[in-house]
A = this chain, B = another copy of it.
């Protein structure tokens, strides 16, 4: 399968580009079947409610799947509030616009197996409880955070909020275990509530906590995960200047959460072979 996309681009007056007035979902597709589809639909529906937009029809959201063919692909769906005049006021009659891109995808099995190096970002996420958790189109903070490093050895950057609590990585959620207890940051003030995170919260006893970055110093294991890449164990954490702060040796504890996540995504669950 080559890359496929909905035919048209965006009109000049689309509110998606004018204001980031919309939402997106990035979905792993295997043999034409979307993974964690109900979770993606639920988050999109919640976003539409918060933004005051009608939710696109499910059959419109599923239409691109017919072109996915066999194998793995990533479906990116973008829903905007549609065209609008100059000015922030939403149109009285909403006419959302849906566009999509479908791309072949190969996950990084090396990162699954050997783990990844991550660094702290300098940027702090602003607190905005109204938008917290949503996968909306206002992502300049993520873009700026991801601009903080360019070396290929660093897989991700960890983000704290304006009050120095851990939140997430630039495009993945964050999990850790300390004292045998699984934890992940609460996402009620900022951050994106990932669909894989939702599944892990259902299947494992993970506590949602407020935690300073220093909590990772006492963690037995740290992971990053999302619904496309699966779960990467963290083997090295660097400071924002690139200096090594901490290292972890992969062990059985790392593989347990990873296996639960990968089972949900149809990815390999035995990664020490």
A192 vs chain B, min Cβ distance (A)? 11
A259 contacts chain B at the CB level, 8 A cutoff: no
Contact of A12 among B6, B123, B126 (CB under 8 A): B6
Contact A138 B20 (CB under 8 A): yes
Contact B145 A88 (CB under 8 A): yes
A14, A21, A126 interface centre (most CB from chain B within 10 Å) = A126
Contact B76 A21 (CB under 8 A): no
Contact of A137 among B13, B18, B86, B147 (CB under 8 A): B18
In the complex, A140→B137 CA distance in Å? 8
A230 vs chain B, min Cβ distance (A)? 16
A179 contacts chain B at the CB level, 8 A cutoff: no
A146 contact set on B, CB distance < 8 A: 87-90
Contact A86 B103 (CB under 8 A): yes
Contact B86 A17 (CB under 8 A): no
| A 94-137 binary contact with B (CB < 8 Å = 1; else 0) | 00000101010000000000000000000100111011000011
A19 contacts chain B at the CB level, 8 A cutoff: yes
**Number of copies of chain A assembled together:** 2
Contact A18 B78 (CB under 8 A): yes
A52 contacts chain B at the CB level, 8 A cutoff: yes
A52, A87, A128, A162 interface centre (most CB from chain B within 10 Å) = A128
In the complex, A256→B6 CA distance in Å? 54
A26 contacts chain B at the CB level, 8 A cutoff: yes
Contact B141 A140 (CB under 8 A): no
In the complex, A139→B235 CA distance in Å? 37
In the complex, A140→B162 CA distance in Å? 19
A198 contacts chain B at the CB level, 8 A cutoff: no
Chain A residues with a Cβ under 8 A of chain B: 5-6, 8-22, 24, 26, 51-52, 74, 76, 78, 80-81, 86-90, 92, 99, 101, 103, 123, 126-128, 130-131, 136-147, 150, 162, 170-171, 190
15 A-B pairs with C-beta separation under 8 A: A5-B12, A17-B17, A19-B137, A19-B139, A19-B142, A20-B137, A20-B138, A20-B139, A52-B147, A81-B143, A86-B101, A88-B146, A88-B171, A128-B141, A130-B144
